[in-house]
Structure 1
Amino acid sequence: MAAQAPAAFLFHRALARPEEAQSENLTRILRATRDTVQSERVPGFSRLRTAREFQDAVPISTPDSVLPDIEALKAGTPRVLTLEPVSRFEPSGGSSGASKYVPMTRGLLDEFQRALAPMLFDLLHSRPAVREGPSYWSISPIGRKQGRTAGGIPVGSVEDSAYFPRFLQPVLSRVFAVPGAVARLPDVESCRYVTLWFLVACEELALLSVWNPSFLTLLMDALERHGERLADDLERGVCRPPRGLGGEHGGEDGDGHPHPDPLPGGEGGVGTVLSGMRFSPRPERARVLREALRSGLQGRMLWPRLALLSMWTDAQAAHSVAPARRRFQGVEIQGKGLLATEGVVTLPLFDAPAPVLAVRSHFFEFLEPEHPEARPRLAHELEAGRTYSVLLSTSGGLLRYRIGDLVRVEGFHHATPCLRFLGRADAVSDLVGEKLAATRVSTVLEALLPAVLGGPRPPFAMVAPEWEPHAPPAYRLFLETDVPDTRLHEAAQALERALCEGYHYRYARELGQLGPVSALRVTEGTRRYEARCIALGQRAGDIKPTELHRQAGWTAWFSQQGKQS
């Protein structure tokens, strides 16, 4: 708390003067990007001072428009976007698009820390119980070796703690329940198992911080699936992770007991990573785990001091909160702010009506979706109840960058807007001109599924396009449900009728360019969805649920995975 106090003080002082804070941010960002390749493309860049001058001179950018500059940086070209060198690239990809490479500089990390420090201070100050024990901050496996670009720049960080100040990281490592080295494990299932070993061994756990609630639910599902094996490992002081979704590592000795360490030890292999960790016998925790497994596996049985769950609770993630809550009855949940790889937009504060704009981090502008031609509004010009799309300018070199996120102003904390994340503004599937928006699909599924299926919303529901040979493309509804096939067909028909209320979708159907919606039953939908997203290059902790995925191939994926299981 002492380390974060100065940044927290400056942030809270800035909340009363957002226009002044944003002006200071813009001055810093202009200084960081002056005398660069991108600044030379803007006439009079060195003379820009005010927000209005900046808006008039610098064009809005997108991931596609900055791609040539990113490629030049990856090749090792200096001073493309910023005067500072790029320290590493962070891969970033939405649930429906190819990975982007976001350049990280010291200045950009400082801007992240300008938001994370007051958030952490507020957490420790407002919830003293969190200070009483270790915490877990989301760690997901990289799934591949830490690479380098053609210019020799590292790609990817190991864990979320990399965003905290370097001087604070040794302190944090002593209060983390799970060692960061688990990120080097080569597959998700091994990572989850080792994570669970350390979590279950930690009776005093006080905080669980993950990104998506489904990450936490899948972690607890793995505990249920491998609980007896894990209890045996805890009792004996060994750790034998299973292998992926299929078989397991290891064999048995002459008495039918698993070998203590049968894991392959090649470079980057599970055995190599585990050899650097310490596993001592924990017979008492093994007993507690077995008792919890017999009693329904509630989080409080394992961690009686657990005080807080931190996770996304807005937009599509809201549907995954209830399953996580059922696993941790009685534990408070705090929603996270809006944090993208490119920058941090909002941070949660306990006494604010919604996450607060990270007013000291970057320079923000806000487009009005109803008036895209209008000059974007500045932070102090936002109106309560209105919806906006976010533009971001950072010391990492992205200027007036459209991150594609929609937010609604829920009120103000002092004079600074509090913003609720609504979803992606650019999540539109457009195979043949139907312009199907994720927000529309989400609204329709929320209304029709309980009514058609005759019960609560299924744990997994997603719409995605499919291309069949000798037939027009069509959308398929993937549902995890045990209702009869007739109900499944009715759900597809109901979705088709609802989508046809949209002019572009109906016109594409009338022209025969688009086939009708069909439905496919899936099992373990969330876990298999995550597995494909990882195969497509995403990190497990970054995967967001979506009710409209724009990439095809899900029918083959779910069918293949079903046969394997």
Structure 2
Amino acid sequence: MFDLLLSAAVQAGSLRRLEHIRRQPIENQEQVLRQLLRHARSTDWGQRYGFGENISAAAFAERVPVSTYEQLYPELERVLRGERDVLWPGRPRWFAKSSGTTNARSKYVPVTAESLHQCHYRAGRDMTALATHFYPRERLLAGKTLSLGGTHGPNPFRPAEPRSRAGDVSAVIMQQLPWWAEQMRTPPLELALLGEWEEKIERIARHVLQQDVRTLAGVPTWMIVLLRRVTELAGAGSICEVWPRLRLFLHGAVAFGPYRELFRQLIPDARMRYLEIYNASEGYFAVQDQPDSEDLLLLLNHGIYYEFLPAEQWDSPEPRPLPLSEVQTGRTYALVISTNAGLWRYLVGDTVRFTSLAPYRLRITGRTKHFLNAFGEELVIENADAGIAAACQATGAAVRDYTAAPVWFAGAAGSRGGHEWAIEFLSSPSSLARFTEVLDTTLRQLNSDYDAKRHRDLALAPPVVNYLPAGTFEAWLAGQGKLGGQHKVPRLLNSREVLEAVLHLHK
């Protein structure tokens, strides 16, 4: 009965909050901005830009510069070194460490008490409310949620201060969960926060064998590894024999399309459901609020004020993002956020496309630095993921990960440019030639610029696909010191650095 009472309690507040977001989106955002400015008015940043003057959204956009991580880093370093009241009141104890996909170094993002409780935990409750509302008969909270995350350690800028910690945002969240939430999840913290991933997967797999797991939560790539190991240890035909009440996977971090067919194979139960979340080190941005649609509802009262930078301004020295009220469907925008962790007009690096304006729903299309445009083809990750998914479906394949880069005019394609792909398969395609053909055809159908360049093979040669053995990308990540957690393989790049590195490992 406790699970039913808990479901009702979580749903009561969250479903009302989500409905308020749908009905009054602009009002929610106006209120968030007022609260952020009022709270930060006495900080160094707030005094520099006059937050105490009760400024409007237009004045805020006029006064405060848009910043990348690198541009904001001098202030963030002050916070990391323990200075108070720099970007947000107080001195944060926790920092989310991400892979630094915009450059080679890791990024350290403050996780304040406000961002933890008003953003990450609030959105987590919202996602739980939606799941139990959509699937009440499954009694998801009566069993365990198996969550995979990273680890944390001392803040490298203050190693002598034991209370200051840095690590994957998943580890930061798990370490501070309230007792009732910790009771619902597995494995225990001492296993969940292990840093060595091979040991972590093995020990977690053995621990959860006999548990009543009903929900999975995590990144698809690592969840695949764990499910296979659990099935192997149990000597079972599928994971359904191990966890007969498994019904839901809450997934995020990477697009799910290329993995969908593989999860159907790993969990061959028609009652299994999938819901997507859009969260990052910087915050929890959106949730799938409709069970039969992959569009994500933008979370507008979770301590984040949003602006959106049109694609034509990504390289502008004076970018002018649009407020939520001015976005259009079908266009690609870079996400700009101001948060209750002290990130002000901060370029996350993600790109999105709105599918609805009433309410505001979107899809993640990629990253500002991760696309292929060496020949004017403007290929984004959304296109690539869809092409990979179609090729998998046509050939019975399953992909663990991939990366792609240009082949320049003087390269293997001769007088034409092209794209070279390196793909690690979990299940091999029936024909690599057929896989390549469907990938190419799907990309042409989805992207008119790519199609124009591929017309009669004049500007772009057909794609070249390299088959990588299992473990190649894991070895590359390990060599970069980025194995596990939220670290991801860059999928589309206009340089060949990553592609050449993984191909070298294959030789």
Query: Could you state the TM-score of these two structures normalised by the residue count of structure 2?
Result: 0.78
Q: Measure, in 1, the Cα distance between the counterparts of 2:380 and 2:125.
A: 33
Structure index of larger Rg: 1
Map of 1:273-292 to 2, 5 A cutoff? 289-290=234-235, 292=236
Which shifted more, 343-352 or 356-365? 343-352
Distance, in Å, in 2 between the alignment partners of 1:78 and 1:31 is: 17
**1:61 is matched with which residue?**
67
1-structure distance, mates of 2:429, 2:17: 55
Q: Deviations over 1:63-86 (max 9, x none)?
A: 111111122222222222112211
- In the TM superposition, 1:523-538 aligns within 5 A as 523-524=469-470, 527-538=471-482
Partners of 2:238 and 2:296 in 1: how far apart? Answer: 29
The aligned residue for residue 250 of structure 2 is 310
Structure 2 partner of 1:379: 324
Deviation of 1:102 after TM superposition, in Å, equals: 0.4
Judged with a 3 Å threshold, the aligned counterparts in structure 2 of structure 1 residues 171 and 558 are, in CA distance, closer, same or farther, namely: farther
Give the corresponding residue for 1:427: 370
Matches within 5 A, 1:19-98: 19-42=26-49, 44-93=50-99, 97-98=103-104
Cα pair distance change 1:195/1:438, threshold 3 Å: farther
How many residues are aligned here? 474
What letter matches 2:323 in structure 1?
A: L
| More off after superposition, 540-549 vs 106-115 | 540-549
C-alpha RMSD of matched pairs (Å): 4.4
C-alpha deviation, 1:557, in angstroms: 4.7
Rounded Cα–Cα distance in structure 1 between residues aligned with 2:129 and 2:398: 38
TM superposition shift of 1:386: 4.1
By how many angstroms is 1:3 displaced? 5.6
Conserved? CA contact 2:246–2:272, under 8 Å: no
Q: 1:71 to 1:140 in 2, by over 3 A?
A: closer
Change (3 A) 1:428 1:410: closer
Q: Provide the residue aligned with 2:298 in structure 1.
A: 357
Deviation at 1:539, TM superposition (A): 5.5
Counterpart position of 2:3: none
> In the alignment, which residue of structure 2 is the partner of 1:270?
none
Describe the SS at the equivalent of 1:345: strand
Amino acid at match of 1:320: Y
2:301 is the counterpart of 1:301: no
Aligned to 1:240: none
Of the structure 1 ranges 433-442 and 173-182, higher mean CA displacement relative to structure 2 is found in: 433-442
Query: CA offset at residue 521 of structure 1?
Result: 3.5
User: Contact between 1:158 and 1:183, CA under 8 Å: does it hold in 2?
Assistant: no
- State the distance in 2 between where 1:458 and 1:96 align: 28
1:56/1:356 CA distance change after superposition, 3 Å: same
Structure 1 Cα separation of the partners of residues 430 and 290 of structure 2 = 45
CA contact (8 A) 2:145 2:184 kept: yes
Does 2:145 correspond to 1:205? Answer: no
Shift of 1:398: 0.8
**1:337 correspondence with 2:283:** no
For 1:222, the aligned partner's letter is: R
Query: Aligned partner of 2:242: which letter?
Result: L
Give a deviation string over 1:34-68, Cα, whole Å, max 9, x none: 233323443x3321432112112111111111111
Identity %: 22
What residue is the counterpart of 2:199 in the other structure? 190
Q: Which runs of 5+ in 2 are unaligned?
A: 1-5
Q: Name 1:407's counterpart in structure 2.
A: 352
Alignment partners' CA distance in 2, 1:321 and 1:449: 11
Q: Given residue 308 of structure 2, which amino acid in structure 1 is its aligned partner?
A: F
Answer yes or no: is 1:347 the counterpart of 2:347.
no
Q: Is the 8 A contact 2:258 2:385 kept in 1?
A: no
Q: Which amino acid aligns with 2:110?
A: P
Structure-1 separation of matches of 2:145 and 2:388: 38
The equivalent of 1:138 in structure 2 is 148
Q: Is the 8 A contact 1:188 1:540 kept in 2?
A: yes
**If each structure's strand is expressed as a fraction of its own residues, which one has the higher value?**
2
Higher RCO (CA 8 Å, separation ≥ 6 residues):
1
- Relative distance call for 1:63 and 1:551 in structure 2 (3 A) is farther
Q: Distance in 2 between matches of 1:299 and 1:484?
A: 25
| Matches of 1:438 and 1:317, distance apart in 2 | 18
Preserved CA contact (<8 Å) 2:140 2:214: yes
Shift of 1:517: 8.3
Deviation at 1:395, TM superposition (A): 1.2
Match of 1:173 among 168, 182, 195: 182
> In 2, distance between residues paired with 1:324 and 1:370?
37
> Residues 160-186 of structure 1: CA distance to partner in whole angstroms, max 9, x if unpaired?
3753795x6211222223112114434
- Quickly say closer, same or farther: Cα 1:159–1:138, change in 2 above 3 A: farther
| One-letter amino acid of the counterpart of residue 109, structure 2 | V
TM-score where L is the length of structure 1: 0.70
